[in-house]
Structure 1
Amino acid sequence: MGKSLLRCLLLPCVRLSFSLRRCALPNRTLIIAGACVLYLLVLVSQLGRSRQLRHEMTEREKYRHTRGLYNLDITASEDFKTGASFALPTRSNVVYITLRTKRAKPAHIRGTIRPKLRRKARRNQDEARAHFSRSKLGPLERDAGQTKRHFASNASRGETGDVIHKSLEVIRASLPDAQADSPVSSIRIYSQKAPPWLSARDVEAMRFLADAKVLRVKEVPRADSPSLLVFEGERSVSKTDLKRVRPWTSACGGQCGVISSPVDATEVFAFHLDRVLGLNRTLPAVSRRFNFLHDGQPCPVGSWDASLVPEGLAAGRSTVRLTWAEYQLSLKQRCWHNNIRPKSDSGCSPVHHLEWSKLALFDFLLQIHKRLDPSCCGFRPRRDDVCVQLGRKAECGDQNHMQLPTIIHKGHDPRHLVFTDNQGFFDRNEDNLDFRLLEGIKELPERAVLVLKNRRLREKLLQSLFLDQTYWESQGGRRGVDKLIDVVERRAKVLLTYIAAHGIKSTAMNE
C-alpha cells in the first residue's frame, strides 16, 4: 500500500521532468522562469497578509491600552459628578501586568529578603532605627552647607512644651535631591482612575511623598520611641488648615513625610496590603531615594499625622494601655459593639471591638508580633530578634500581665486604631507562624476574607505595588514582588484553614 502510494505521487513528477528534458532550451527556460515568478507572487501575497494581520492586532492592543490599566468603564465626567478618586495619567506608555497560570518553580521562602538588607537586619533593629537619623544628619549638613538650629527657645517662651532638638534648614537650590524637578512622577498611573481600593487622598499623599521638593529635614524626638527623621515638602496649605495645627507642628502644617531606614521597606508593602484588604488603617507610604541619605538607597517614606500625638511629642503618641488579660477580656465583652456604651466596671478599652479583628488579620499575614505578642511567646524567635536580645522571652511565664505597648489611635478618634511601624517578616516558615495573634478572635472582616477566598490577592497587590516605581524596582521587579506575594498567599491559605477549623465568622466591618 505504501509503495503504490509513493509510486502514484512520484509518477507525475517523473513524467514532468522527462517532458522538460525533451523540450528545447528556450522553452525549458521560459517554463522554469514562469514557475519562479508564480512562487514569488504567492510568497509576496502571504507576507502582505501577515503584515495586515499584525497591524490589526496592534490596533486592537492600542484600543485596549486606551481603556486603562484596570479596565474600569467609568468616564471622567462621571468621576467628577460622583466625586470618586480621579487621577490624571502620569505616563504615556502602558505596561500591563498579567498573571501566570502556574509558576514554573515555587519561590524559596528564604529568598524573599535581599542578602545585604538581611545582614543589616541581624543587628538590633530598634537600635539601628534609633541611630538612623543621627548618623545621617552629618552628611546631610555637609551636603546642604547648613548649620544646626535649636528650637529650645520656643519652649522657654511658652509657645509649646515640646522641644525639637535638631533641625536643618535646607535650601532647595543646594539640595542634590533633584528628582522632584523631573516631569515624570515615580507614582505611575496609566488610566484616568487609580485602583478602586485607593482613595483620591491616598493618591495625593503618595504623589506628595514621592515627588515633593524637600525644603527642610529635621530630627523630631519622641518620648516613647526613637526619634523620627521628618522632611518638609513644598506644597500649598490653606490658612484654615494652618489654624488647626498646633504650634509645635506649624513647621510641618500637614505637609511632611517621615523617613525610615531602608531595612523597613515592608512599610510600603503593608500600606498596599492594607488598602487591598479594605482595612484602611495604615498611613500612606511610598519608597523614595534621597541622594543625601543612606548613599541614595530607597527609603520608605510615610505620611506625617499630627493627630497621633495630640498632646505634644513630649507626651508621646496616643497609646492604648492594655495588658494581655485586659485585651482578652475586651474581646469577650465585645466593647462598643453596635455603639453600645459599656459599663464603667466592665474593664473595656476605648477601642471598638471590630478593630481587634482587623489588627489580628493584618498582623498575621505580615507576622508583625510587636503589637499583640511583644515577647515572642507564640513562635520560635531567632537570636537576633529584638525580643530575645532585650530578654522579653522570659516574660512568657506571666502572660496575663504582659503589656501591649504599641496600640496606637488618633487623639480625636479613640475608637479606631492606626497601624504604624509595620515592620513585617517574610522569612518565617509556615511551621513557625505566630497563632497567638489570632487568640480570642471570633470574627474577621468579610471583605478581607473574601479577597483571600477568591484568590484575587495576587492580582490586586501586583496592580497596587506597580504604581510605586521606586519600590517595584528596589525589590527586583516582577520577580521579586512575586516572591513576597508568594509568602503572603501561603499564609492566607493557612489562615483560611484556621478560620474553617475554629468556626470564625466573616462580618461586614464598615466602622
Structure 2
Amino acid sequence: MDTHSTRPGNVGDTLIYLSVSFLKVCWKYSAVRKYLIVAVVCFVYLFFTVHVSRASTRKDKRLDLWTGNSVYAQSKTDLDPADGEVNESVSPTRSNVVYITLKSKRHKPAIIRGTVRPKLRRKKVKVTQQGGTQGKLKDTRHKNIVNQRLGYSELDDSDIGYSSIRIYSERAPPWFSNDDITAMRFLADSKITQIGEVAPRGFSSFILFKSATNGTDDIDECRKCCGIVKRPLDMSEVFAFHLDRILGLNRTLPAVSRRFRSLGDGQLCPVVLWDPSLSPVEDQPSERLNWGSYQTSLKHKCWHGGVIPKPEWSCTSIHHHEWSKLVVFDFLLQIYERLDKNCCGFKPRPEDTCIELGHHEECRDKDGIELTHIIHRKHDPHHLVFFNNKGYFDRDEGNLNFRLLEGIKELPEQSVSVLRSQRLREKLLQSLFLDQQYWDSHGGRQGIEKLIDVIEKRAKVLLTYINAHGIKVVPMNS
C-alpha cells in the first residue's frame, strides 16, 4: 500500500502519522539510542508545556488589567450611564478605557437630605450686582411700588402649599435655636396684611411688612410680627445670617428669601426680622464713635473683666469682645460700611457706596471718620447687633480690607475653631439648604458652592493673618 495515499487531511491525523513514522525509524536503533531519544523527546515536551503555561498566565493578567478585575476601570463604550453596569460582550482597548477616581475636589457634607416631594419648576432669577445711578433708581422704584400698595391686601407671594423652609431630618442643624426656626418660618410663610415705608428714630427709612394687625401702627409695638423687606441686591443678608450662626456669634437678626408679587416683577427679596428694641450706639451723643476713639477703646479693653471704664478711655457701652466678633464676621464677608465707610482699607469700585457719595476722598483724616451701623438693644447695651449685613463676594484676595483687623489683638475661639476644622463648607451647605428660595435662586448646590469658595479662601487668609501677627484666640462667651 502506498503510504502517501493513507495520509489524513486534518491536523490531528497528521500528528499521529508522524509519530508512527518516527517510532518505526527509532525501532531500528539499539536500546541505548532508543532510551536517549525518548529522554530528549520528554525534555522537549516538558519545556514546551511550561513555557506555554507561563505565557498564558501573563496574557490573562493583562486582560484582567484592562477589563477592570484588578483596578477600578470601565470602558467608555460599555458603561451604561443609567445604572453603571459594564457590557462584557465588547472587549475594551487602550483607547476606550476610563479610570474612575473616588476622590472629591471639595469636602462635601456627609448627608444632605433630598426633598420628598416633586420639585416645582420655576424660572431662575439671576441677581446681578448693580450700583451708581442705576442702583439708586432701582431702590427708588422699589420703594415707590410699595408706597402704592399701602394698607391691607394680599401682598405675599403665591401659595406653594408648603413651607419654603425645608427641614427633612428630625431636627434642624444645632447652630439654630428654636426661636431662629420659628422666625425663619414666619418670615418665609406668614400671610402679609400690611406693608409700607417707615423711618424709626436713628435709622434710615426702610420697607416694613406686618403679618397681623395689632390695633396700632406704632412700630415700637411690632414684636415678632414684622419683617424688613430689603432690595434684591442685598441677598447676601441671608448668607450672612447663616454664617453668623455657624460661627457661633449669634449677633444677626434672622433673614430668609421671599418672593413678592406686588414688588416689581415678583423678584426675590431678602426679608429680615424687625426688632423694635434696636438702637444705634452713635445715636447717643456721649457715645458717638469715630475711628480714633474706637482704637483708643480697643487699647483699654472696655468693660473687660468687669472693670468700669474711665471717661478718658473713649469707651461706649459695648463690651471689648464684641468688636473681635464683629471683625471676624465683617472680614469674611468684606462688609466695610460699619468700620470703614470711606473705603480707606481697599481699592473701591465705581459702584461702591463710598464712591457714589464721595467719601473715599476723606481718608486723610482717618481718626475723624465716623463708624456707622453700630447697633445694640436698649435692654442689652453691652452686646452688638449686626444690622445691614450686605456682603461682597466679588472682591479677590489681592484687594481685601485688612483695615477691619486693625487694633484687634484677640479673636473668638469658637469662630476660629470652625474655620480651622475644615467643616465650614459642609455646615454652610447644610444650613443654606433649609432656605429653598435662596438655594434655588442661586442655581442650587453648584451656585452655592461658588459663594462658599470665596468665604473659604478668605478664611485661609484670616488664619494666616492670625499666625503672622500673633493674634490670641480666647473664649468669648456672652
Q: TM-score normalised to the size of structure 1?
A: 0.67
The answer to whether structure 1 residue 327 and structure 2 residue 299 are counterparts is: no
1:277 aligns with: 247
Match of 2:391 in 1: 424
**Would you say 1:170 and 2:181 are equivalent positions?**
no
2:179 pairs with 1:201: yes
Q: Distance in 1 between matches of 2:315 and 2:166?
A: 45
Distance 2:436 2:133 in 1: 29
Cα offset for 1:405? Answer: 2.0
Kept after mapping to 2: 8 A contact 1:309/1:317:
no
Paired AA for residue 263 in structure 2 = L
Cα distance in 1 for residues equivalent to 2:403 and 2:187:
35
2:147 aligned with 1:137: yes
Once the 2 structures are TM-superposed, how far is the Cα of residue 292 of structure 1 from its aligned partner?
1.2
CA offset at residue 249 of structure 1?
2.6
CA distance in 2, matches of 1:90, 1:449: 30
Shift of 1:316: 6.9
Tell me the residue number matched to 2:128. 117
| CA positional deviation for 1:344 | 3.0
Identify unmatched segments of 5+ residues in structure 2: 1-47, 58-84, 86-108, 120-124
Which residue in 2 is equivalent to 1:292?
A: 262
Letter in 2 for 1:171: S
Counterpart for residue 380 of structure 1 = 347
For 1:176 and 1:361, the matched residues in 2 are separated by 35
CA distance in 2, matches of 1:132, 1:301: 14
Q: Which runs of 5 or more residues in structure 1 are unaligned?
A: 10-49, 51-68, 72-88, 96-113, 142-167
Partner of 2:191: 213
Sort the Cα spacing of 1:93 and 1:451 in 2 relative to 1 into closer, same or farther, 3 A: farther
Q: Is the 8 A contact 1:443 1:504 kept in 2?
A: yes
> In 2, distance between residues paired with 1:201 and 1:429?
35
Report the residue type matching 2:142 in the other structure: F
Deviations 1:331-363 (A, max 9, x none): 000000022211233321111000000000100
User: Which residue does 2:170 correspond to in 1?
Assistant: 192
**Counterpart of 1:192 in structure 2: which amino acid?**
E
Distance 1:305 1:169, change over 3 A: same
Contact 1:319 1:408 in 2 (8 A): no
How far apart are the structure 1 equivalents of 2:259 and 2:229? 10
Letter in 2 for 1:460: K
Residue correspondence of structure 1 range 397-416 to structure 2 within 5 A: 397-416=364-383
Contact 1:317 1:408 in 2 (8 A): no
Task: Give the letter aligned to residue 228 of structure 1.
Answer: F
Partner in structure 2 of residue 153 of structure 1 = none
Q: Tell whether the 8 Å contact from 1:186 to 1:211 is kept in structure 2 after alignment.
A: yes
Please state how far the C-alpha of 1:129 moved relative to its aligned partner.
3.7
Tell me what 1:340 maps to: 307
Pair member with larger Rg:
2
Partners in 2 of 1:470 and 1:373 — Cα distance? 32
After superposition, the C-alpha distances for 1:30-60 in whole angstroms (9 at most, x for unaligned) are: xxxxxxxxxxxxxxxxxxxx9xxxxxxxxxx
Distance verdict in 2 for CA 1:4–1:399, change over 3 Å: closer
For 2:302, the aligned partner's letter is C
Deviation (angstroms), 1:93: 6.0
Q: Match of 2:328, SS?
A: helix
Aligned amino acid, residue 392 of structure 1: H
- Distance in structure 2 (CA, Å) of the matches to 1:334 and 1:128: 43
Contact 1:290 1:297 survives alignment (8 Å)? yes
Q: TM-score by structure 2 length? A: 0.72
Distance 1:192 1:391, change over 3 A: same
CA distance in 2, matches of 1:325, 1:185: 48
Contact preservation (8 Å) 2:209, 2:227: yes
Cα displacement string for residues 246-277 of structure 1 (whole angstroms, at most 9, x for unaligned residues): 97236634301110110000000000000000
Whole-Å separation in 1 of the counterparts to 2:227 and 2:297: 34
* d(CA) in 2 for partners of 1:288, 1:258: 11
**Which residue in 2 is equivalent to 1:491?**
458
